Amino acid sequence: MIIAGPCSAESQAQVLETAAVLSGMGIVWFRAGLWKPRTFPGCFEGVGREGLRWLAAVKEQYGMKVCTEVAGAAHVEACAQAGVDMVWIGARTTGNPFLVQEIAQALQGTAMTVFVKNPANPDIEAWTGAVERLLQSGIRNVGLIHRGFSSFYEKIYRNSASWDAVVQMRGRFPSLPFYCDPSHLGGRAEYVGEISQKALDLGLDGLMIETHCNPSAALSDSVQQLTPAQLSAMLDTLEERTSDTGDVQFNRTLEEFRTQIDSLDETILNALASRMELSRRIGEIKKAHNISIIQTRRWESVMKKLVRIGGECGLSSEFVRNVFEEIHKGSVGEQETIPDCSEPRHK
Ligand code: PEP
Ligand code: MN
């Protein structure tokens, strides 16, 4: 299941031209943002209600289904009146219970499906709460969209993938459709393919992909949008991974566990990097105070404590010793590289 279309509806001509090409490719669902939440003031903030007529024209001329982002009751009411088929709650709105509640109320009695994007902050409880708020208001056609979480640490993607959050959310809402939005997750056109493949490997149900006939001229999110031709080529590369054993459930479970392991490995690496940074700072003050790098007695007592805690967590003393001996060696090596100078390193 693919939802494609521009980040923002910019003009009637742009909307209809994109829809014409996409519907020619067999794509049924068309997206275009009308009310755009922008980080900085003064940016293009969407065409608003006017664009609803353009979406209606997409339905009429190409028989596509249309969707847009809503951030409050007024948006929902306008969409319902204009015959919009589906709305999504954007990342900046999901974390706001007042707005989700008013959206839920406005959706009552409409035929529209609602997808809930994850909140921008990495908080799956807030995401869960938003979904529950809709379900408890009697809204039945609810789905989820993963678009990545804001992160200080993510260096490659615009938002951090945190696939383990997807695994957990799917466990919480196993019967709801679950999509991925690789465009906002990756933030660059070149990442859309690999993220889409990962979403597929995890068994997600569909993708929402920003597609623009002329991305470099787009009024929002220009570097992450694909042309329809790029979208088509990318979709052709996606592989439905057939399982070695043919057992789909087995493979999905395996993929879920591996995803969690990958996330933990990243957490371990981040923790090791922070540890190394501290160790370097300790090295600097040791040097400044003429204290030797290795203080055997302290390290022996630290190791004893680690082995005890490891044992309580079910880890063998040999394993804990091996791991921490390597970490300690790395730290000592790092401290040995600190230059001998009386000037402070950092101004
Ligand atoms: C969008 O889909 O254009 C959008 C603003 O998404 P998000 O809420 O994920 O940032
Ligand atoms: Mn966008």
Ligand 1 atom closest to 33 (CA): 3
- Contact predicate 147/181, CB 8 Å: yes
- Output the pLDDT for position 244: 59
Q: Which ligand is nearest to the CA of 220?
A: 2
Ligand 2 centroid–CA 110 distance in Å is 26
Q: How far apart are CA 149 and CA 233, in angstroms?
A: 27
Q: How far apart are CA 90 and CA 93, in angstroms?
A: 5
Q: How far apart are CA 321 and CA 145, in angstroms?
A: 43
Distances in Å between the alpha carbon of 111 and those of 134, 188, 304?
Answer: 14, 34, 63
CA angle 147, 149, 155 (to 5 degrees): 105
Please tell me the residue having the least CA distance from ligand 1 atom 1: 7
- Contact predicate 149/160, CB 8 Å: yes
Ligand 1 atom closest to 90 (CA): 8
Ligand 2 centroid–CA 210 distance in Å is 7
Contact 212 CB / ligand 1 (< 6 Å):
no
Ligand 1 centroid–CA 8 distance in Å is 10
Contacts within 8 Å (CB) and 24+ apart, 79-86: 79/52, 79/112, 80/106, 80/110, 80/112, 81/52, 82/52, 82/53, 82/55, 82/56, 83/56, 83/59, 84/52, 84/55, 84/112, 85/59, 85/112, 85/113, 86/29, 86/112, 86/113, 86/114, 86/115
Mutate to test the pocket of ligand 1, among 36, 181, 183 (most ligand atoms within 8 A of CB): 181
Listed in sequence order, the residues at least 6 apart from 144 whose beta carbon sits closer than 8 Å to its beta carbon are 115, 116, 117, 118, 127, 131, 169, 173, 176, 177, 178, 179
Of 135, 139, 161, 138, the C-alpha closest to 150 is 161
Contact 5 CB / ligand 1 (< 6 Å):
no
Ligand 1 centroid–CA 21 distance in Å is 22
Q: What's the whole-model pTM score?
A: 0.77
Ligand 2 centroid–CA 221 distance in Å is 5
Please tell me the residue having the least CA distance from ligand 1 atom 10: 91
Q: How far apart are CA 315 and CA 297, in angstroms?
A: 24
- Output the pLDDT for position 259: 87
pLDDT lower than 50: segments of the chain: 342-347
- Contact predicate 164/100, CB 8 Å: no
Ligand 2 centroid–CA 70 distance in Å is 13
Q: Which ligand is nearest to the CA of 224?
A: 2
- Residue in this structure with the two tokens 């390193």, named with its chain if needed: 345
